[in-house]
């Protein structure tokens, strides 16, 4: 992955930079060392290309808008009266800025007179592949999200993905927040769901719908 390669090669980049500094001629030696200057210039050009490859090039142009990667209520598991308040571009999380879109899904819970938000999807487009990969790795590294033993689905469309659930009330609420995240090239897609109001089977069906929808848009 670009982000991993970037971190992997940072030591090499630093060593090359040190060599360049050592080879740079002093001002008084410039006339005699012009050939060395040319060699250093070539080395710097090679280094720049290496950094671009390791750390990620700009994302390619796309024929669709990022928000088109969001699901709609018609894509969700059947048997529920799903509702949505629509798509909005109001990021509230530090990793979701700029070209970031969200849609929330609600259902009416037993004993309630109004719909309750129980699931949501976010999609964010990184400026580079490395940016989205790095943000994914930061989220996936949040160890308080634990993957339930019952969860076995592994996406074959996403470049990488992970799933976990977390209950910050330690059982007092009777519910836990589950989160799936996956990268598709420069896109980071996140699904939130409140379990058990949304079952693990329903979460899996929704992730499968994301896989199919996003990979179709990307022509995979």
**Torsion sign over Cα 167, 168, 174, 178:** negative
Note whether 114 and 168 are within 8 A (CB): no
Q: Which of 180, 178, 165 lies closest to 210 in space, CA to CA? A: 180
Evaluate whether 86 touches 106 at the Cβ level (below 8 Å).
Answer: no
d(CA 215, CA 121): 16
Q: Residue 71: its pLDDT value, please?
A: 98
- Cα 102 from Cα 89, distance rounded (Å): 6
pLDDT tens readout for residues 122-174: 999 988 888 888 889 999 999 999 999 999 999 999 999 999 999 977 777 78
Tokens 């060395």 sit on residue: 36
pTM for the predicted model, two decimal places: 0.74
For the stretch 197-219, pLDDT in tens is 999 999 999 999 999 999 999 99
Alpha-carbon torsion angle 29, 35, 36, 40, nearest 10: 130
Q: What is the CATH number of domain 66-217?
A: 3.40.1000
Residue 52: its pLDDT value, please? 42
Cβ neighbours of residue 5 under 8 Å, at least 6 residues apart?
Answer: 53, 54, 55
Domain coordinates of the chain in residue numbers? 2-55, 66-217
Give the pLDDT score at 172: 72
Question: Angle between the 129-140 and 2-23 helix axes, to the nearest 10 degrees?
Answer: 120
Phi, then psi, of 96 in degrees rounded to 5: -115, 85
Dump pLDDT digits (tens) for 55-70: 566 888 999 999 999 9
pLDDT, one tens digit per residue, over 94-105 is: 666 678 999 999
Rounded CA-CA distance 49/53 in Å is 6
């Amino acid at each position: 992955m670009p982000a991993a390669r970037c971190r992997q090669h940072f030591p090499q980049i630093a060593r090359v930079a040190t060599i360049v500094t050592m080879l740079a001629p002093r001002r008084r030696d410039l006339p005699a060392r012009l050939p060395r200057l040319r060699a250093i210039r070539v080395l710097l050009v090679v280094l720049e290309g290496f950094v671009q490859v390791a750390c990620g090039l700009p994302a390619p142009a796309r024929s669709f808008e990022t928000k088109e990667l969001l699901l709609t209520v018609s894509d969700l598991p059947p048997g529920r009266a799903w509702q949505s308040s629509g798509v909005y571009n109001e990021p509230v999380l530090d990793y979701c800025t700029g070209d970031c879109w969200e849609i929330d899904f609600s259902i009416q819970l037993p004993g309630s007179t109004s719909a309750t938000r129980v699931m949501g999807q976010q999609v964010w487009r990184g400026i580079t592949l490395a940016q989205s990969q790095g943000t994914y790795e930061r989220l996936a590294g949040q160890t308080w999200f634990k993957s339930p033993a019952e969860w076995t689905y592994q996406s074959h469309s996403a470049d990488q993905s992970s799933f976990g659930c977390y209950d910050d009330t330690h059982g007092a609420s009777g519910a836990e927040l589950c989160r799936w995240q996956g990268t598709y090239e420069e896109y980071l897609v996140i699904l939130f769901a409140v379990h058990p109001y949304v079952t693990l089977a329903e979460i899996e069906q929704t992730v499968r719908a994301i896989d199919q929808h996003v990979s179709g848009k990307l022509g995979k």
